């Protein structure tokens, strides 16, 4: 298995130092060790057992028609299926690990196809905020970025990423099991992605300002988030749940979102995609057998079960001033 983040190789240390400074490396690794210390989650021993039992496979990775394919196919496929199911829920993909196809909740390849044409990644140092298991980060590497540093504090996603790494082999991609706010900001990144994060923040302007602090002057941010329909400058803070989610705050219209970016130090903000989320793009599968979008919509699918407009996602590209 590739070097653990907690015992990093010199190459990994160099990438972290380039992003966060020499002093920041120890802070980041310390935060990762704290986040993954014994007892932080009741299922950690179970997830670690999955990693420890993964079979050897020829390492390597590629993108095949939107699928992240990692590792050569192994002989005992059924045993690997049983082992990888120990890391359910698999939300971002699609994936094929060691020859096993994983039909994730999200067809994340559809979103990537919508946003990728609008961001130049060639040779860039990229930050992926709220990365989940790292599916999009691998797509960023496939887009010829120089390196990707990703972060997500949800531990099961970190274990999923480590399973992907096991089959993929070494790559200039580091997924940190910490919140974005724990990362030292040095203005080192050329591109930052925040996809599916902003609406989970009580203070979206602080999140955008934080992204700006991580970017070099003239660098690019791509923000993908839930928005309200309409051309007015407006926003809505759901009083309880939105689409069956408790942690949704301050949904803006696109004009309000563009204002937020202007206010927090960005320019040339442009909405490059506006797409309603469908139950074909986000749905339950055998690899994510829990509630999904279909359970969050009214029977006619014209509103959420709370009576609000159904999920609509905007992707906005902006430059750091």
pLDDT averaged over the chain? Answer: 96
What is the average pLDDT across 97-111?
Answer: 98
| Portion of the chain with pLDDT greater than 70, in percent | 98
Name the residue with tokens 């159904």.
310
DSSP state of 87: G
Token duo for residue 159 = 């274990």
Identify whether the C-beta of residue 176 lies closer than 8 Å to the C-beta of residue 32: yes
| Stretch (H or E) spanning 247 | none
pLDDT tens for residues 129-148? 999 999 999 999 999 999 99
The yes-or-no verdict on residue 75 having pLDDT over 50 is yes
Asked whether the bond before 23 is cis by omega within 30 degrees of 0, the reply is no
- Nearest-Å Rg of the Cα atoms of the chain is 19
Alpha helix stretches (DSSP H) within the chain:
10-35, 44-52, 77-84, 108-115, 135-142, 155-168, 204-214, 254-263, 293-296
pLDDT tens for residues 246-272? 999 999 999 999 999 999 999 999 999
The yes-or-no verdict on residue 298 having pLDDT over 70 is yes
The yes-or-no verdict on residue 28 having pLDDT over 90 is yes
The yes-or-no verdict on residue 214 having pLDDT over 90 is yes
- Which pTM was predicted? 0.96
Q: How far is CA 67 from CA 3, 30, 104, 254, in A?
A: 24, 33, 11, 31
What confidence score (pLDDT) does residue 4 get? 67
The yes-or-no verdict on residue 1 having pLDDT over 50 is no
What is the average pLDDT across 110-130?
Answer: 98
The yes-or-no verdict on residue 10 having pLDDT over 80 is yes
| Residue 115 pLDDT class (50, 70, 90 cuts) | very high
Helix axes 254-263, 204-214, angle to 10 degrees: 50
What are the residues whose beta carbons fall under 8 Å from the beta carbon of 54, sequence distance 6 or more?
1, 80, 83, 98, 163, 166, 167
Q: What is the spatial distance between Cα 223 and Cα 310, in angstroms, rounded to a whole number?
A: 19
| Stretch (H or E) spanning 45 | helix 44-52
What is the average pLDDT across 184-193?
Answer: 98
What confidence score (pLDDT) does residue 7 get? 76
What confidence score (pLDDT) does residue 2 get? 47
What is the average pLDDT across 161-187?
Answer: 97
């Amino acid at each position: 298995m590739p070097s653990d983040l907690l015992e990093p190789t010199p190459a990994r240390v160099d990438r972290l130092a380039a992003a966060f400074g020499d002093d920041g490396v120890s802070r980041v690794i310390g935060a990762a060790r704290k986040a993954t210390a014994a007892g932080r989650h009741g299922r950690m021993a179970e997830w670690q057992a999955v990693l420890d039992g993964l079979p050897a496979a020829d390492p390597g990775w590629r993108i095949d028609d939107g699928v992240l394919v990692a590792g050569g196919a192994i002989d005992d496929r059924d045993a690997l299926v049983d082992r990888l199911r120990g890391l359910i829920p698999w939300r971002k993909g699609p994936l094929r690990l060691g020859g096993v196809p994983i039909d994730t909740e999200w067809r994340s390849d559809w979103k990537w196809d919508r946003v990728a044409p609008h961001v130049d990644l060639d040779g860039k140092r990229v930050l992926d905020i709220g990365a989940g298991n790292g599916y999009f980060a691998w797509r960023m590497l496939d887009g010829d970025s120089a390196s990707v540093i990703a972060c997500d504090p949800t531990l099961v996603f970190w274990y999923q990423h480590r399973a992907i790494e096991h089959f993929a082999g070494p790559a200039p991609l580091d997924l940190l099991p910490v919140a974005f706010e724990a990362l030292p900001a040095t203005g080192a990144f050329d591109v930052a992605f925040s996809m599916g994060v902003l609406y989970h923040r009580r203070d979206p302007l602080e999140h955008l300002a934080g992204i700006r602090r991580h970017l070099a002057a003239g660098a690019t941010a791509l923000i993908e988030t839930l928005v309200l329909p309409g051309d007015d400058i407006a926003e809505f803070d759901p009083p309880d749940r939105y689409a069956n989610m408790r942690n949704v705050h301050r949904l803006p219209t696109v004009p309000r979102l563009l204002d937020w970016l202007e206010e927090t130090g960005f320019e040339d903000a442009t909405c490059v995609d506006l797409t309603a989320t469908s139950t074909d793009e986000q749905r339950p599968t055998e690899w994510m057998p829990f509630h999904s979008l279909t359970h969050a919509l009214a029977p006619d699918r014209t509103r959420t079960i709370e009576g609000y407009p159904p999920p609509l996602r905007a992707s906005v590209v902006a430059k750091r001033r």
